[in-house]
Structure 1
Amino acid sequence: MTKHHPRARTTLNESRIALRLAALSLEEKCRLLGGASTWRTHAIARLGIPALKMSDGPNGVRGESLGSHRTPGLSIPTSIVIGASWDLNLAQELGVVLGREARRKSVHVVLAPTVNLHRTPIGGRTFECLSEDPELSAQLAAAIVRGVQSNDVAVTVKHFAGNDTEVERMTVDAQIDDTTLRECYLRPFEATVIDADAWGVMSSYNKLNGAHAANNVELLRHILRDDWGFDGFVVSDWFGAHDTAGSIEAGLDVPMPGPATIYGRHLLAAVQEGRVSEARVDERVETLLRLIERTRADERPASSVEQTVDDPNERAVVRHAAAAGAVLVRNEHSALPLEVGSVQTIAVVGPNARVTRTQGGGSSSLQTIESVSLLDGLTERYGADAIRYRRGVSIDKLAPIIDDDSLRTPDGETGWQVEYYDRDEVQGAPRRVDITSQSALTYFGAAPPGVDPFDFTVVVTGDFVPQVDGVHDVSLVITGMGSLSVQGETIVDDPQGLLPRGREYFGFGSEEQLHGIPMKRGEPVRFVARMRTRAGFSALRIGIRAPEDPHEFDRAVSLAADCDAAIVVVGTNDEWETEGHDRDSIALPGRQDELVARVAAVARRTIVVVNAGAPVAMPWLNDVDAVLIGFFGGMEMGRAIADVLSGERDPGGRLPVVYPRQLSDSPAMRDYAPVNGVQRYTEGEWYGWRGQARAGIEPLIAFGHGLSYGESVWGAPRVAVDASWPRCSVTVPVSCVSARPVTVVVQCYVRKAGDTNPPRLAGWAKRELSPSTSGDMVVEVPWTAFRRWNPARRAWHMAGGEWEVLVAASSVDVRARLNVVIDERESAPSRGSDQPPDQPA
């Protein structure tokens, strides 16, 4: 795998930036800073200033279109998988892939990476973030940024800052003390800005210590620009900016989406009325013009046709990444690997086997080129004759979307007919007629060509052909005004958009409207749905749940008993884990725990694959033979997990987050729920595994834990200190003493000597060793590991004296302890993570 990539062009045409800035009128400057549409900025044609195009996101580049007109793309593993890989080279390689995908979709700015921390195990976007640990997140995020920007594509590191929950996310005030903020929650942002030269940052929805992030002077001006020297651009999260004068003063460059809501004519009026100086406007315009130069937007028009490229080399990277981030947390009696030919029959049961969840819900989701289920991957690996399948249980939160050949258009084609009308003028001819392959449509400020994305009506017509007799649950979730009829009978009618709002579609969607409709197998049932769009975000979702087979659960258990081995695939899906709301529990949905327990009681060998993007409880952990956590592993996940289960690949991952035994073990849950709109981080730095360890709470599975199929022996470590920096390196001799290759992750944690509190992760090294080979693994511990924030001076303080360095295989598996002596030093607040403190104190 490539270890280094050329940095993006850094020489800018400063003279062109200056000339363009001088030539712009005040009105043009204000218009330039206001979004033109959902995903683009304004172009100024008379000066040749191009529009910039932005797109989500962390696990792929979706492009501009949504609904039935999305451009398929490469789906890399979600960020928690990258976190579990502990692999900086791989993170950078995946960043390169994202940058290439952005160029194919004529995107100049990728809205990624997401670097908020896993403060609790139930965050709706835990899968989208790298880790609970500040340093692991920081270094991996910086590597991703380097990879993306090597393609002359900008990142927006998000969400700056304190957006660590989806609860009341638009309005909640995250109250975080200055020390915890600097040492924990800002650390990943700091590293991407200072160490990786990130060109963009996205402000979060929430308030931070009293002020909305998009107009937070302390955050955007004092910390980001003054302390860290950031010269890139700041974009708001979509619909997350509210204050014209406050935002321009703080340093928000572009509030999104367009049409402009606080800049544009609103900013022009503020300047004319003397509430905002034109000098402040010029600062923001210069930043945007610099971004145009950095991304070569003059050479890459935003209007270029989006392309889908299925590159086998990039697929190989994605497949490798999913295996590198798969974590083997239990393997009793060498239950794994399950080599091809070692058993005759394998029972594959569980709700996520056939419909494997490769990505979470929300803005990061995209239409993938292909999505390989675990059942497909296992069938490819072991052969169709060896694999036996039963679903066992269902975990659908809502009535499921239909996306197969049971949908028929009025003309008999596969899918449903979709008609688009201007505004609500449905009596005339439609503006456009399409076919959708699934029973849900999503429009986020985008619509088919020729249709106004902000004001149209969509009419969906088609038949559903049931596969079984019985009462089917039919549901509708809708963001706008509309109706649903089945067989000519209106079952939902909401012409004014008055249905109560639920959690779906970021809270814009209605509560699920559920009705039982009798159906007969093979007899088509006509559906007609209508929706008038509301604002820039619209979605219509029709779900159909067939009657459950009352014997399915028992048949799955019986199948497991009859086969040589059982693989139980459990997990969540993009309804349980999604942007917009947190989970209510870490328990697996439905009867999955019961299914695992019953299978474990009868199967000869029980292997559990956990397909969930965040920690889940495992009350059956000690009753099964092996557990492999695959998270949401991207489009090649099915093949990658099959590679690992069969022994073709070693499980390369280590947990980037602690798995608690129960939700109440998580320290941050004490003050999780906002009170009067305020969420207080009273646990300070003691969240996650460090908070549990400090309280003496034993984890279910420790932070940093992960097993290999091979075995290693570690020799005596040695440490070398560079007193002039100061930093240190720890060298650990490691040998592979097994017939199989071994993956080793040496982790170094530090704390002041004599401190009994849990240490902090400071650095790590990862390596795969072949059988009978040895080598030195070197962990670089940077000076940032020894610094502490001094809130009184607003500066970093190097806590001098003796420090303990713990060499470990996980947070609880310490192999050696070393001591180093560090000189006490002070540094100026503007010094960042790549520079040492000034002088010894």
Structure 2
Amino acid sequence: MPAVVSPLAGLRRALPPAVELVHAQGADPRTRLAPAAEYFTLRSRYRDEDGDVLAELPQPDGHVMTVGSLPLGVTARRLHSVDITGSFTPDRTGTHTFGVTGFGSYTLDVAGHRLAEGVCAPDSDDPFIAFTNPSERRFTVELTAGDTVEVAFRFVPFTKGMDDNIAALAFGLGHRPPTATDEELIEEAVAVAAASDVAVIVVATTEETESEGFDRTSLKLPGHQDELVRRVAEANPRTVVVVNTGAPVEMPWRGEVAAVLLGWFPGQEAGHALADVLLGTEEPGGRLPTTWPAAMTDCPVLDTEPVDGLLTYAEDVFIGYRAWAGQDTPPAYWFGHGLGYTDWAYEKAEFTAAPPGAHELGTLRVKVRNTGGRAGREVVQVYLEPADPATADAVERPRRRLAGFATAQSGPGRTTVVEIPVPRRAAQIWDAERNAWHTVQGRYRLRAGRSYADLRVEATCEAL
């Protein structure tokens, strides 16, 4: 990963020189320091116990986390220490904070002076949490804007893996420049937004709040980000919010902003991709693979704590959108929802049955028309639901389920037809006694549209 393109950098490169782009930090979602990255030029060296270099490579930021693999030439048996060294050119004068995270011993030199030396021990008895969210130590130093200083961070991990073949490293060097209070940062962002034609806010979860290593206790955006969005939107109604998360979050301000764009942890080229979408070069063509609540308390399933080591799945198959469909409180955004830069009309749906005994019930053909002013892409979704009360009441199951989808692409005013195979499994349930899938026979409706709750055309089919 030779470089990471931030949203700000991507927009700066994409916009013409005549467009003025003003940046404000806004609310900081972190309780820990961000990895050392901006204004740093770093390299990492992996050494054995004799100090010999096993591998050397560019280091895009101060964060190191790997499970199951190490750089070429490095093994868990031989690895003793990692050096992250390079230069840092501050953009502002004042007290800069450096942080060390991990489980091991360390030394940190800044501007030729030993800033810190010691040991980081885990804050948690849970080894997985200690690995994914390691403890942090902070240190401060006075630096002058524009004066480049050398930075040298050495870390000796106390654990490098479960055995010689499964390596695991989690440590890092963090940094925070002289920073105002949260209230001052929000006020600065509001002032910038009020003087701008358009405001773009990037909000996010962090590794502190969203991880595969622990459960979330809240769906709220961390820190004061919700307040930031509300106040910026009050100052500038043309506010676009980019949500950089990997799972649903509450967005209580969603009705107060001009647009919401989900980023889904887009990776190192995020800035370029975001600029392409915001400036209209590319269309935001994604659709939600999950259902997003207005508030976490609305979620159909909230109890996920094991009792005496046992977690009972009392919801059975009623999970996700299937569970939402069975309650009165609607979500903020249904499964399958997503918009683009053009509009689509659903004109017709026709079903052709497959021969008896086939793996499919048949094929649904859906005709759609691009009614907007530019070329675009539509995700046509097909949902299957019982058409007769007898079929619907034959077994307890979700009233509707996704049976298939396909993408349609066409220019403005043009029509296209997509073909979507409908698998027999869409009309089947699991028969525990026979240990096999069982087709619930009867008449079904095939409903096509843009999301679970936005279905526009339909056809019928028989499951035999």
Q: Is residue 648 of structure 1 aligned with residue 272 of structure 2?
A: no
Deviation at residue 492 of structure 1 after TM alignment? 3.1
Matching residue of 1:637: 270
For 1:396, the aligned partner's letter is R
Q: Is residue 628 of structure 1 aligned with residue 261 of structure 2?
A: yes
TM-score computed with the length of structure 2 as normaliser: 0.83
RMSD of equivalent CA atoms: 3.1
Q: Is residue 571 of structure 1 aligned with residue 204 of structure 2?
A: yes
Choose which of 52, 62, 81 in structure 2 pairs with 1:431.
52
Residues 734, 775 of structure 1: 8 Å contact kept: yes
Deviation at residue 699 of structure 1 after TM alignment? 0.5
Separation in 2, partners of 1:454, 1:475: 27
Choose which of 354, 379, 399 in structure 2 pairs with 1:745.
379
Residues 473, 516 of structure 1: 8 Å contact kept: yes
Choose which of 676, 679, 688 in structure 1 pairs with 2:311.
679
Choose which of 353, 365, 370 in structure 2 pairs with 1:721.
353
Choose which of 119, 129, 138 in structure 2 pairs with 1:493.
119
Q: Is residue 398 of structure 1 aligned with residue 32 of structure 2?
A: yes
For 1:683, the aligned partner's letter is E
Matching residue of 2:325: 693
Q: Is residue 420 of structure 1 aligned with residue 47 of structure 2?
A: yes
Deviation at residue 615 of structure 1 after TM alignment? 1.2
Matching residue of 2:169: 538
Partner of 2:301, secondary structure, is: helix
Deviation at residue 534 of structure 1 after TM alignment? 2.0
Matching residue of 1:475: 99
Q: Is residue 666 of structure 1 aligned with residue 299 of structure 2?
A: yes
Higher helix content, 1 or 2: 1
Residues 377, 642 of structure 1: 8 Å contact kept: yes
Deviation at residue 619 of structure 1 after TM alignment? 0.6
Q: Aligned pair in 2 of structure 1 residues 401, 780: CA closer, same or farther (>3 Å)?
A: same
Instruction: State the percentage of identical aligned residues.
Output: 29
Q: 1:702-735 CA distances to partner (integer Å, 9 max, x unpaired)?
A: 1111123222222232222224125122222222
Residues 35, 175 of structure 2: 8 Å contact kept: yes
Matching residue of 1:86: none
Q: Is residue 609 of structure 1 aligned with residue 242 of structure 2?
A: yes
Partner of 1:632, secondary structure, is: coil
Partner of 1:669, secondary structure, is: coil
Higher strand content, 1 or 2: 2
Deviation at residue 569 of structure 1 after TM alignment? 1.6
For 1:734, the aligned partner's letter is V
Q: 1:218-275 CA distances to partner (integer Å, 9 max, x unpaired)?
A: xxxxxxxxxxxxxxxxxxxxxxxxxxxxxxxxxxxxxxxxxxxxxxxxxxxxxxxxxx
Q: 1:503-531 CA distances to partner (integer Å, 9 max, x unpaired)?
A: 89763367423334342435958765441
Q: Aligned pair in 2 of structure 1 residues 796, 607: CA closer, same or farther (>3 Å)?
A: same
Deviation at residue 791 of structure 1 after TM alignment? 0.5
Deviation at residue 452 of structure 1 after TM alignment? 5.1
Partner of 1:376, secondary structure, is: helix
Q: Is residue 731 of structure 1 aligned with residue 360 of structure 2?
A: no
Separation in 2, partners of 1:467, 1:740: 42
For 1:561, the aligned partner's letter is A
Q: Is residue 513 of structure 1 aligned with residue 140 of structure 2?
A: no
Q: Which runs of 5+ in 2 are unaligned?
A: 162-167
Q: Aligned pair in 2 of structure 1 residues 451, 616: CA closer, same or farther (>3 Å)?
A: closer
Matching residue of 2:164: none
Deviation at residue 799 of structure 1 after TM alignment? 0.9
Matching residue of 1:126: none
Q: Aligned pair in 2 of structure 1 residues 733, 529: CA closer, same or farther (>3 Å)?
A: closer
Matching residue of 1:388: 22
Q: Aligned pair in 2 of structure 1 residues 733, 523: CA closer, same or farther (>3 Å)?
A: closer
Separation in 2, partners of 1:448, 1:564: 46
Partner of 1:519, secondary structure, is: strand
Structure with more relative contact order (C-alpha pairs < 8 Å, separation 6 or more) = 1
Q: Aligned pair in 2 of structure 1 residues 492, 448: CA closer, same or farther (>3 Å)?
A: same
Q: Is residue 811 of structure 1 aligned with residue 442 of structure 2?
A: no
Deviation at residue 818 of structure 1 after TM alignment? 3.3
Partner of 2:80, secondary structure, is: strand
Deviation at residue 698 of structure 1 after TM alignment? 0.4
Q: Aligned pair in 2 of structure 1 residues 616, 502: CA closer, same or farther (>3 Å)?
A: farther
Q: Aligned pair in 2 of structure 1 residues 384, 398: CA closer, same or farther (>3 Å)?
A: farther
Partner of 1:569, secondary structure, is: strand
Q: Aligned pair in 2 of structure 1 residues 605, 678: CA closer, same or farther (>3 Å)?
A: same
Count of residue correspondences:
438
Q: Aligned pair in 2 of structure 1 residues 382, 484: CA closer, same or farther (>3 Å)?
A: same
Separation in 1, partners of 2:27, 2:178: 13
After alignment, is 560-569 or 441-450 more displaced? 441-450
Choose which of 764, 773, 777 in structure 1 pairs with 2:418.
777
Deviation at residue 759 of structure 1 after TM alignment? 0.4
For 1:508, the aligned partner's letter is F
Deviation at residue 792 of structure 1 after TM alignment? 0.7
Q: Is residue 796 of structure 1 aligned with residue 437 of structure 2?
A: yes
Separation in 1, partners of 2:173, 2:462: 64
Deviation at residue 686 of structure 1 after TM alignment? 1.0
Choose which of 409, 416, 435 in structure 2 pairs with 1:768.
409
For 1:675, the aligned partner's letter is V
Q: Aligned pair in 2 of structure 1 residues 450, 782: CA closer, same or farther (>3 Å)?
A: closer
After alignment, is 799-808 or 470-479 more displaced? 470-479
Deviation at residue 542 of structure 1 after TM alignment? 2.5
After alignment, is 381-390 or 749-758 more displaced? 749-758
Q: 1:750-793 CA distances to partner (integer Å, 9 max, x unpaired)?
A: 12232385301001221022112123232221111111110011
Matching residue of 1:548: 179
Deviation at residue 395 of structure 1 after TM alignment? 2.1
For 2:421, the aligned partner's letter is E
Separation in 1, partners of 2:361, 2:177: 62
Separation in 2, partners of 1:493, 1:636: 35
Residues 123, 130 of structure 2: 8 Å contact kept: no
Q: 1:534-560 CA distances to partner (integer Å, 9 max, x unpaired)?
A: 242233323232331243322221111
Deviation at residue 701 of structure 1 after TM alignment? 0.8
Residues 401, 543 of structure 1: 8 Å contact kept: yes
For 1:478, the aligned partner's letter is G
Separation in 2, partners of 1:636, 1:382: 16
- Taking the TM superposition and a 5 Å limit, the aligned residue runs for 1:184-583 are 367=1, 369-386=2-19, 387-406=21-40, 415=42, 418=45, 420-422=47-49, 430-432=51-53, 437=59, 438-442=61-65, 444=67, 453-458=76-81, 460=83, 467-479=91-103, 481-484=104-107, 487-488=113-114, 492-493=118-119, 499-501=122-124, 507-508=130-131, 511-521=134-144, 522=147, 529-536=154-161, 537-550=168-181, 551-583=184-216
Residues 415, 435 of structure 1: 8 Å contact kept: no
Separation in 1, partners of 2:272, 2:412: 25
